[in-house]
Homo-oligomer: A and B are copies of this chain.
Amino acid sequence: MQFKIDGKSFHKTRACTIKTAHSTIQTPVFMPVGTQATVKALDANDMLSLGAKIILGNTYHLYLRPGSEIIKKFGGLHGFSKFPNSFLTDSGGFQAFSLGDNSKPDENGIMFKSHHDGSKHYFTPESVLDTQYELGSDIMMILDDLVALPNTKERIKKSIERTTDWAEKAITYHKSQQEKGIGINQNIFAIIQGGTDKEFRKLSATQLCALTDFDGFAIGGLSVGEPNAAMYETVEWTTDFMPEDKPRYLMGVGTPEDLIENIERGVDMFDCVMPTRNARNGSLFTTYGKIAIKNAKFKEDAEPIDKACECYTCKNFTKAYLNHLFRAGEITYYRLATLHNIHYYLTLMREAREAILADNWVEFKKEFYKKRGIEI
């Protein structure tokens, strides 16, 4: 992976370029979620038409179905889904923890039962990399030890230590595999934990970032219900312990406002189900804020979702038609809405990048909020 900083603006904002074996990614970047080897309601060509340079796949889901060994036979996620740009895959640990039944971490990994059929599986720092080698993702995430919150300080501290231990095992294993010719074009990111506790975050960041063989670092364990202010403060604090010369990825975040606030706090990469899930629930993003397409006031509205939007849906269809399709439960709706919401997120990131490169961040952010009726 090649990484360079192209420009900076206000506070910690930065615009970077990440080059993987499959694409050149300009940051700040939002990675649409394609859990099961497809972004829900869209296909590979849709993602290309949206200009997506990287999407996310979920290792837990793909490991269980169709199985990473099948995906490997098709040349990994790229060959299987036909999306030629980059993939980032998570470790599967979070889903084993949240979706798997009776998940149990121990010193060496996580035991869990499949939510499909109850079959037993065991994820280790090494096994989740083996799965991700088969998936062929451009960026692999390490297994981390998650704990349910709230929890005792002792248990959280243990989770941080274990996460560091597993990160060491992962990077050692990855280097040894690469020496054997496995995963040579694949990159690996560690995940900083510690909740919203500054000392824990500092501890985790310091320990992990000392492992300089990692290609990038993520901030995990946020956007799990804590107040926005606490999330922003934690990111502000944590990025100071992360290296300048590697990508910074804030996992599972967030709203357009969250993206803007965290770009300012030094984050380069984001992923979230929000644009895709909201689309399916009838919540569409515009420069003026969200709208609920089901609303009766749109029944005869001949305008597109957002007059300023250049997406396929806005160029072709009215709010009245989308309102009808949504109310009628038509599958057609889901693709049109998803295309729009992802286009919104990717465009916002492109505009943020331009603002940083033009050293115009403060004005850009002010305008972003002003259109939403918020003066800052």
Contacts of A257 in B (CB 8 A): none
How far is the CB of A296 from the nearest CB of chain B, in Å? 11
Q: Which of B40, B280, B320, B327 contacts A80 (CB 8 A)?
A: B320
8 of the cross-chain contacts (CB-CB < 8 Å) are: A40-B331, A41-B331, A43-B316, A43-B317, A43-B335, A44-B316, A65-B328, A70-B320
A121 and B83 alpha carbons, distance in the complex (Å): 50
Q: Are B80 and A325 in contact (CB under 8 A)?
A: no
Q: Are A65 and B324 in contact (CB under 8 A)?
A: yes
* Number of identical monomers bound together in the oligomeric complex: 2
Contacts of A179 in B (CB 8 A): none
A318 interfacial by beta-carbon distance below 8 Å: yes
A326 and B199 alpha carbons, distance in the complex (Å): 47
**A140-174: which have CB < 8 Å to B?**
none
How far is the CB of A51 from the nearest CB of chain B, in Å? 19
How far is the CB of A105 from the nearest CB of chain B, in Å? 27
Tell me the count of chain A residues lying within 8 A, CB to CB, of chain B. 39
A230 interfacial by beta-carbon distance below 8 Å: no
A43 and B315 alpha carbons, distance in the complex (Å): 13
A330 and B44 alpha carbons, distance in the complex (Å): 13
Q: Which of B61, B74, B316 contacts A82 (CB 8 A)?
A: B316
Contacts of A38 in B (CB 8 A): 325, 330, 332
